[in-house]
Amino acid sequence: MWACVDDGTTFAANDGDHTYVYSQAAGGYHTTGFAAVSGTVTQVAVHIVAATISGASGNATVSLYASGSLQATGTAHALNGTYTQYNDTFAGLSIPSTSNIQVRVTFSATNLKYTEVWVDATTGSTPADPVVAGAGDIACNAAERACTTKCGTRCCDCQDGATHNQLVSINPTYVFTLGDNQYENGEYANYSDTSGGYASTWGQEIGITFPSVGNHEYNGHASCTACGCSPAGCCSDTCCDTVAKRQCATQAYMNANYYKYFSSVKSAEDPNGNGWYSYDIPTSDASRSWHVVVLNAAICDTAKFPSWASAANCQSGSAQYQWLQQDLANWAAGGKKCLLAYWHEPRFSSGTENGGSANYSQFWSLLQSYGVDVILQGHDHNYERFNPQNSSGTADSTGPISFVVGTGGRDTDTCATTRAPNSAKCVAGTFGNLKLTLHPSSWDYDFESAAGTAVSDLRAGVACHN
């Protein structure tokens, strides 16, 4: 309900800093009411009618307070000689109903005046900010759990049940995976195995999961005869004797396994089965959603797939890079906000099994040019957090905080004695999820171990770049 909280008759042109505070209780009551209303104030709209007098020029700025505490400041409105209505809307609020809503109009010069200030307070439940959680390098298969198939000479350490239990306790809005979701080769039969595969643990959250692909998702060939490989039924690199044939065969394998299991993601976000896509996550401020980019690093993993992968698949001119350029440009056209990206193989890592790769430097640089806040990766089976840096590994406050979270449940790796530059923390022998709480203009992170080496790494209120 709109209420006039002041008619401007007490304004004096030469009054000090030209600031006025007019108070009212939440819900649009007159200034003398101060009556509490039922519910939390989630949005306040303010209209002022203002003008210059005696040929003056300057701005009027509206700020919103609740019981003396600043909540938000609006746009500076340039006034003219005609009385005009200027509007500000402050959303994403959470002001208790017992607070007094106060409007402060600040003028930048003398001889500026308003004649009316109107306020409308909207009440209701403030939407909770979303929580996303996940990890990479996740699920054993049934044979590995039974130790009939081993990891080298020992039984595999299968802790995806523990990490899934932790995931359930976090109760995230969405789940991300950082690749190598199902060992050993990402077969659909193992993905869908409700007694011993991914479906028996993390697969229970498939309805809220946005996965990324890892190298283990590409560890096979399928329908290779259709790719020109010969003789029929032979899918080895010898039979698929060109890079194009090998790429065709591995993509066919992905379609028959990974995309068969994550069919809803393929249909909605990644219809071409490229392994790259984006989505948005709303926050408590409807105008400040997070943009999330998921990339395919496996097709650039020349260390794992020297016969068909290429660094060029993640560099300028590639289909994936061009898509990323366009996706970020489209997003930025609506106003840059908070930005998150994730993929499997890391740009930087102190892990001893794989380490980082410069193959992903151009991804990093392009994302940083748009103000990316967070980059998540897996591949090395440990937990590591890096301070902000650029794609060359130089400390840079404009760069993202990045994480390696290869702790989803299938075996662990070690951290190098001499860690990569800008590594803030590296923990081996642990399993767990990284929890991110996404606020309209900031974010919190919290990694807690679910099994193995105990670790707690958390921080709240990290400001977004945009």
Contact by Cβ (8 Å): 347, 389:
no
List the one residue out of 132, 130, 162 whose CA is nearest residue 403: 132
Sign of the alpha-carbon torsion through 368, 371, 372, 373: positive
Phi-psi region of 28 (alpha: psi -120 to 50; beta: other; left: phi over 0): left
DSSP secondary-structure letter at 165? Answer: H
The reported pLDDT for the residue numbered 18 is: 34
Name, in order, each residue with C-beta under 8 angstroms of 184's C-beta and a sequence gap of 6 or more.
141, 144, 149, 216, 219
453-461: Cβ within 8 A, 24+ apart? 453/427, 453/428, 453/429, 454/430, 455/383, 455/427, 455/430, 457/383, 457/385, 457/425, 457/427
The reported pLDDT for the residue numbered 160 is: 97
**Which residue matches tokens 């905080």?**
401
The secondary structure element, H or E, covering residue 102 is strand 100-107
The reported pLDDT for the residue numbered 17 is: 33
Contact by Cβ (8 Å): 442, 340:
no
CB atoms within 10 A of CB 64: 23
Q: Which two tokens stand for residue 38?
A: 């039922």
Residues 406 and 412: their CA atoms lie apart, in Å, by 8
The reported pLDDT for the residue numbered 38 is: 58
List the one residue out of 270, 267, 292, 298 whose CA is nearest residue 279: 292
The reported pLDDT for the residue numbered 4 is: 60
Residues 415 and 426: their CA atoms lie apart, in Å, by 6
Delimit the CATH 2.60.120.230 region(s) of the chain.
3-124
The reported pLDDT for the residue numbered 12 is: 38
Q: Which two tokens stand for residue 181?
A: 């979701």
The reported pLDDT for the residue numbered 1 is: 55
> Residue-wise pLDDT tens for the chain (466 aa)?
566 655 544 443 333 333 333 223 222 222 322 334 557 888 888 877 777 877 888 888 888 877 778 888 888 888 888 877 788 888 878 888 777 777 777 778 777 666 677 777 777 766 789 999 999 999 999 999 999 999 999 999 999 999 999 999 999 999 999 999 999 999 999 999 999 999 999 999 999 999 999 999 998 777 787 899 988 888 888 899 999 999 999 998 999 999 999 998 988 899 999 999 999 999 988 889 999 999 999 999 999 999 999 999 999 999 999 999 999 999 999 999 999 999 999 999 999 999 999 999 999 999 999 999 999 999 999 999 999 999 999 999 999 999 999 999 999 999 999 999 999 999 999 999 999 999 999 999 999 999 989 999 999 999 999 9
Contact by Cβ (8 Å): 139, 261:
no
Delimit the CATH 3.60.21.10 region(s) of the chain.
131-222+257-463
Residues 99 and 84: their CA atoms lie apart, in Å, by 30
Domain covering 131-222+257-463 assigned CATH 3.60.21.10 in the classification: yes
Contact by Cβ (8 Å): 31, 6:
yes
Contact by Cβ (8 Å): 75, 63:
no
The reported pLDDT for the residue numbered 21 is: 31
List the one residue out of 130, 131, 136 whose CA is nearest residue 403: 136
SS3 content of the chain, % helix, strand, coil (to 5): 20, 30, 50
Neighbour-count burial of 109, counting CB atoms closer than 10 A to its CB (0-12 exposed, 13-18 middle, 19+ buried): middle
**Which residue matches tokens 């400001």?**
463
Supply the CATH classification number for the domain 3-124. 2.60.120.230
List the one residue out of 232, 212, 216 whose CA is nearest residue 224: 232
Q: Which two tokens stand for residue 377?
A: 């990766």
